Structure 1
Amino acid sequence: MTTGAGAPQLTERGALFRVHAPDAHALWLCLFDPLAGETRLPMQREADGVWQLAAPGIGAGARYGLRADGPYDPPAGLWFDPDKLLLDPYATAIDRPFTYDPALAAPRGEAGDTAPLLPKGVVEAPRPHVAARSPLFTPGGLLYELHVRGFTMCHPEVAPAQRGTIAALGHPAVIAHLKALQVSAVELMPINAWIDERHLGPLGLTNYWGYNPVSWFAIDPRLAPGGMAELRDAVSALHDAGIGVILDMVYNHNGEGDCHGPTLSLRGLDPRGAFRHAADGSLINDTGTGNSIACNAPTMRALILASLRHFVQQAGVDGFRFDLGPALGRMDHGFDPRAPLLEEMRADPVLADRIMIAEPWDIGPGGYQLGQFPGGWLEWNDRYRDDMRRFWRGDAGMIGAVATRLAGSSDIFPNGRSRTVNFLAAHDGFTLADLTAYEERHNQANGEQNRDGHGENYSWNNGIEGASDDPAIRAARCRDAKALLATLFCSRGTIMLSAGDEFGRSQRGNNNAYAQDNAFSWIDWDGRSTELERYVFALAALRADETDLHGTDILTDDDVEWLDEAGNLLTVAQWEDPGRRRLVLRYRVSGLAICLNGASDPCRFRLPHGAADVAARTIVVSRPER
């Protein structure tokens, strides 16, 4: 007999449903037919809190949900309410997107039947697995973070009906742009089915980013009307072009929120097992979203691992980026790089060779874990981001930090191999263009009195806040962007570019555009800076040709030498000089030299005599006009 929860399995007679709800007193499978309406079938409790039902006559395309009854005691972490229709956590498809309604969060006895408000799970016929292949992406390459909807909503060459969808990623014009950037893998912001936070509706806003999932299997129909087949085709098209696909997964919380949030799935089935609770029974909130998933509980580990395998086997994705990654390793005593889930991910035969990338921080105790993930993981390096921003802003005393970041961040990854993901900007924060045009965030459109988003961005405005028609200011901002980008492409390890930063995308100073499903966030392809775009294409080609630049071994004094602008080895006094703004990194074997001039005046760099092919292998990164 099959044990454990899982997706519905079609049989010769119908379909087998298995649901984990250990504290429930009763569970019903609810089938929905356009003519017959809802049919409720009682499920039978089996071992280990799993309820099971072999439903006759059920085939592919059947729409279903669940209802559970049991104790209703929210302070004790129990939320059973048979009026609330629930999504099967293992459902692989849903029939429509989630829409928030206050009734979904109403106390037991006050909501009425929520079935009309909730998407239904869709039973799917099994598909053959995608043929196993090694990931196309390898560390040291270029990750390109993009939002599926915003990336092509305004793309002039993509057909209007296809814009904003996963299918559009396979369009020849899109792939041509990615190829010109030498993209190693696209990193897709969340594509799993999500729901709006309850405060957004009254503000006339919706969740745009998608970091509020309800399902870890079903793709949101707004992004992929064709479901898994659409993702599979897009991945195949990108793979044919030599481009990998990384999915951004959110396992640290779900869209059911805090104690006032909606009951949609896990909360109505296994509320005490799915979420972390304090000793008094209240929800732990290490994510800032109202709840924290118990990622290392056995049933949740099984659910998470199954969903990861689902996207590898059904779509052939190359790997995953994990939002608020420390949640994956949280135990009662704090973060543990040997936590069961992390160990099982690396031991799983389907997942063992996939690319794993951590956002290595959350807001819980001990939540900043940069450099602490298991070997083989890549990690977003916010210290790279901040140090490079501060250097090009003009902050004093940054030359040592800049050298360390260029060389692979040995202070963070001390074992000789850099696992860094270097980036200057990401979805969360200022765009690269806004970094040089706004000293302060401008998030008024988010409806939170400009209190949301990062307060310290290490940004500058070149003399005037916001957009400017002054040619001198615009030219200065373009030079700043070029200097930042050139530094990124010359840095050791994996690098990441946020979509549109290669041609000056702006969000008008909004550094937390999670609720801006509009022109604030959609990429303006017609208005892009082709000058900056050509510059980044050239940087990408340069990096691709120079193997020194995309290596992952951390540079040591045996590999490189550090020089001043006159070609002399930097002295201790020069390293400690807070006013030093110039630096040369020269590879000993190849002779490649990277010359940084962060000062306000031009500089002629001199290299020692005898450097190999100096003229052809010298990169000058400078902000002043020369």
Structure 2
Amino acid sequence: MFAKLAQPFPLGATLCDRGCNFSIHAPDHKEIKLVLFDNENKKKIIDLDNQHLDIHYTFVEGITAGQIYGYQIKDKDEIRLVLDPYAQALSKTPFYTEPFTAQRSWDFAKSVVVDQRFDWEGTTLPQVPLEETVLFETHVKGFTKRHPAIDQTKQGTYLGLCQPAMIEYFKQQGITSLQLLPVTSCMSEPHLLKMDKVNYWGYNSLCFMAPEPRYAQQDPVTEMKTMVKELHRHGIEVIMDIVFNHTAEGGEGGPKFHFKCLDKHYYLLDREKNYKNHTGCGNTFDLTYQPSLNIVLDTLRHWVTNYKIDGFRFDLAATLGRNGDRFDMHSAFFKAIAQDPILQKVKLIAEPWDIGPDGYQLGYFPRGWNECNDKFRDTVKSYWLCQENNVKEFATRLMGSRDLFSAGKWPDKLPVNFVSYHDGFTLQDLVSYNHKHNHANGENNRDGHGDNRSNNQGVEGETENYAVLSRRERQKRNLMTTLLFSFGIPHVLAVDALSHTQGGNNNAYCQDNEISWADWTPSKDKAEFSQWLATMLERRKNIMSPFIRAFSGHNRGHHRIQWNRSNGHTMNAEDWQRLEAFALYLGLFKDGKEMMFLVNSSSIPTRYRLPAGSKWQVVCDTSEATLGSRQVQTTYMQGAQSLTILYRD
């Protein structure tokens, strides 16, 4: 009776006024069946009586939103329930006790039919220009879990992130774009389950299209949309950190949730048998395989269309451009996005590497993609914290890493510069610890990166030594000023604005507790730094963004750039090898706005001679804890190991 309503596309569960179409790609299981569950968990098994291109589908009359379902397959003489890879919601937070057997699959989280209709109340997309964008990397749960002004029932949730107190904070801080750590449904790895821990960061995708249930009070779909709506209402973008390079099914012997059972070719395989592990997570999703490419593109369109997401940050994105063991910037994935009328409009940010062969691809992603610039991170930390006199490298990163990202292709190829990220030391820990302290992770401190390029300023960890604390605050200001006033898109770790410490843990991926949760406890130093950062973000928008805009594209060669010694003379070849105090002068066009960077990495104060003309406004001096509004004209005394930005229009 309903044969005409049954369709192979779109895949997943699609509602209409007469019922629901169920469609699943399953070439390895010809006898797959649909299972519907009622409120008492009683099941009804339905044949998928239509097939097309290895897709099994049927239409079921009378189905409404909230219907719980799954798919039954026969797995080595056992009957297993698998999730719909296209599931748009899950019935509960996924959890299981090892081992994940066919019998236990029936007690696992199940797929849920969703009605995506939602009242957006006329809110519009912020559409922040790239040169004005500041990414604020935020964990939905962790950033509000301990916020004292948020109702306890909403702390750590989607709704918590859009409460008036948070909106006010984001606007005061000058944040344009929240980059959320993964909010797609996640399953913790088996080794974490054995230790009674969870994957706090969420980089272990279960169902790409389903929002993570952990962050919802009741309905993840509606609550996440409400969060996006309220942030958009106040001009704040939402960027999703999304993981397509691997899935939660792991490698050989890993759990079977869906892909492994339905079609082994979803994954990159070695001789059609073993899972290739270019991600360090057990498997590698193969985007040269059409069904794999389809679900990734369908997922991206799903988040943009149904949730109004403004962009994506792609974890280990080199995997997405792989053709076997090689990376190809002309791969089908990149071309498919470039021609997609929905996806070509959103921000696209790549983590441009994975751990496989040919895996490091910084600077080699197509136009329209911005890339996380780890060379900026390493250079800037080495310069300020390790006293490496890498002047040439530092200058290159300050000017936008044009050895990798041509200014002729800015702003769409501006690098995403960062000093700290979710993985690694927080800003506070960069200046407080020389060594990682990851014992709480249960791996005997063997996990986490060993190359931190940090400096504890004389004492490991907490101290009340005023001199040490003063040096730490100055170095924080050095790092953040360099980040905000370099050419590029600044990426700020949200908890850094609060001077949050993880106690030296540089790999807190499994710490769903006070180690990771943002510490809102007030203190004079924290408040001072937070206010300093907010003012600097405002000054960046007003001063640095126009310079980035002017230096982008065709006009890039019409401006003035000079590299000088502190005495005002032009730097020579020898200076680039050893100079500790130098200045960068930038002037727009022939007689436009001007800016100067006075950089002194030496241990002694240095006097700088300034270009003649009208008075300069002191934008910031990192040797000072507060930001004033004074002016200078002919010379400037720069403190040791500090940086000053000057400006005049």
Q: What interval of TM-score do these two structures reach, taking the shorter chain for normalisation?
A: over 0.9
Q: What root-mean-square deviation, in Å, do the aligned CA atoms of Structure 1 and Structure 2 show?
A: 2.1
Cα separation, 2, equivalents of 1:396 and 1:380? 22
More relative contact order, 1 or 2 (CA 8 Å, 6+ apart): 1
Counterpart Cα distance in 2 of 1:303 and 1:379: 23
Structure-1-length-normalised TM-score: 0.93
Return the offset for 1:415.
5.2
Deviation at 1:476, TM superposition (A): 1.1
> What secondary structure, in the 3-state scheme, does the structure 2 residue paired with 1:576 have?
helix
**In the alignment, which residue of structure 2 is the partner of 1:469?**
464
* In 1: Cα distance, 2:188 partner to 2:325 partner: 32
1:60 aligns with 2:65: yes
> 2:630 aligns to what?
none
How far 1:557 moved relative to its partner? Answer: 8.7
SS of residue paired to 1:600: coil
The Cα of 1:55 is off from its aligned counterpart by 2.1
1:241 aligns with 2:213: no
Q: Decide whether the 8 Å contact of 2:185 with 2:207 is kept in 1.
A: yes
Alignment check: 8 A CA contact 2:36 2:69 kept: yes
Q: Deviations over 1:383-411 (max 9, x none)?
A: 00010000001433311111111111111
Match of 2:626 in 1: none
Q: Find the counterpart in structure 1 of residue 430 from structure 2.
A: 435
**Alignment of structure 1 residues 136-155 onto 2, 5 Å:** 136-140=127-131, 141-155=133-147
- Give the partner amino acid of 1:536: L
| In 1: Cα distance, 2:287 partner to 2:183 partner | 20
User: Is 1:445 matched with 2:440?
Assistant: yes
Q: Is the partner of 1:520 in helix, strand or coil?
A: coil
What's the offset of the Cα at 1:545? 1.3
Partner in structure 2 of residue 78 of structure 1: none
Note the alpha carbon deviations across 1:206-245, whole angstroms, 9 max, x for none: 1100000101111011113432221222112111211111
For 1:316, the equivalent position in structure 2 comes to 308
Contact in 1 for aligned 2:390/2:577 (Cα 8 Å): no
1:212-611 alignment to 2 at 5 Å?
212-224=204-216, 225-270=218-263, 272-279=264-271, 281-332=273-324, 334-414=326-406, 416=408, 417=410, 418-527=413-522, 529-546=526-543, 547-548=545-546, 550-551=548-549, 553=552, 558-577=559-578, 579-588=579-588, 589-610=592-613
Structural mapping, 1:35-184, within 5 Å: 35=40, 37-69=42-74, 72=76, 82-104=78-100, 106=101, 111-116=102-107, 118-127=108-117, 136-140=127-131, 141-184=133-176
Distance 1:261 1:539, change over 3 A: same
Inter-partner Cα distance in structure 1 for 2:142 and 2:570: 47
Q: Which letter does structure 2 place at the counterpart of 1:414? A: S
- Sort the Cα spacing of 1:312 and 1:373 in 2 relative to 1 into closer, same or farther, 3 A: same
Opposite residue 139 of structure 1, the aligned amino acid is L
Do the aligned residues in 2 keep the contact of 1:30 with 1:64 (CA within 8 Å)? yes
Show the counterpart of 1:76: none
TM-superposed deviation, 1:618: 5.6
Q: For residues 437 and 269 of structure 2, what CA distance do their matches in structure 1 show?
A: 36
1:129 & 1:321 partners in 2: Cα distance?
A: 26
User: Shift of residue 180 of structure 1?
Assistant: 2.0
Q: CA deviation at 1:260?
A: 1.7
For each residue in 1:592-611, what CA deviation from the matched residue of structure 2 results, as whole angstroms up to 9, or x when unmatched?
A: 1121222222222221212x
Secondary structure of the residue aligned to 2:109 is coil
Q: Is the 8 A contact 2:246 2:281 kept in 1?
A: yes
Deviations 1:165-208 (A, max 9, x none): 11112112111221122212100000011011101123231110
For 1:392 and 1:36, how far apart are their aligned partners in 2?
Answer: 60
The one-letter amino acid paired with 1:419 is L
Matched position secondary structure for 2:297: helix
- Contact 2:124/2:233 (CA < 8 Å) preserved in 1? no
8 Å Cα contact 1:432/1:504 also seen in 2: yes
Q: Deviations over 1:40-62 (max 9, x none)?
A: 22223512100012223322211
Give the AA of the match of 2:239: I
TM-score (norm 2): 0.89
After TM superposition, the structure 1 stretch with the greater mean CA deviation from structure 2, 50-59 or 258-267, is: 50-59
Cα offsets for 1:285-319 (capped at 9, x unmatched): 00000011112311111111111111111111111
How many Å separate the matches in 1 of 2:23 and 2:619? 63
Aligned length: 607
Distance 1:525 1:548 in 2: 34
Give 1:513 deviation, angstroms.
0.3
Hey, what does 1:75 align to over in structure 2? none
| Structure 1 residue aligned with 2:616 | 615
Assess, with a 3 A threshold, how the Cα gap between structure 1 residues 134 and 346 changes in structure 2: closer, same or farther: farther
Unaligned runs of 5+ in 1: 73-80
- C-alpha separation in 2, matches of 1:502 and 1:490: 17
CA contact (8 A) 2:428 2:501 kept: yes
Amino acid aligned to 1:98 = P
Distance 2:123 2:322 in 1: 31
Residues 198, 527 of structure 1: CA spacing in aligned structure 2 closer, same or farther, 3 A cutoff? farther
For 1:28, which of 33, 36, 42 is the aligned residue?
Answer: 33
Distance 1:444 1:581, change over 3 A: farther
Indicate if the aligned counterparts of 2:126 and 2:232 stay in contact, CA closer than 8 A. no
Which residue, 6, 9, 24 being the options, matches 1:19? 24
Mapped contact 1:584–1:593 kept (Cα < 8 A): yes
Query: Match of 2:11?
Result: 6
1:293 partner amino acid: F
Q: Could you tell which deviates more after superposition, 59-68 or 430-439? A: 59-68
| Structure 1 equivalent of residue 635 of structure 2 | none
- Checking the alignment, whether the CA contact within 8 Å between 2:498 and 2:519 is kept in structure 1 is no
Distance in 2 between residues matched to 1:341 and 1:247, nearest whole Å: 18
Which digits, 9 at most, give the CA deviation of each residue in 1:514-540, with x for residues without a partner? 000000000001146101111101111
The Cα shift of 1:132 comes to 9.9
Residue 624 of structure 1, CA deviation: 3.6
Q: Secondary structure at the match of 1:361?
A: coil
SS in 2 for 1:422: strand
Q: Contact between 1:134 and 1:353, CA under 8 Å: does it hold in 2?
A: no
Structure 1 pair 556–24 and aligned structure 2 pair: CA distance change class (3 A): same
- Per-residue Cα deviation, 1:3-33 (whole angstroms, up to 9, x for no partner): 3451212245432100000121310111111
% identity of equivalent residues: 34
Q: CA deviation at 1:100?
A: 3.2
Quote the offset at 1:454 in angstroms.
0.6
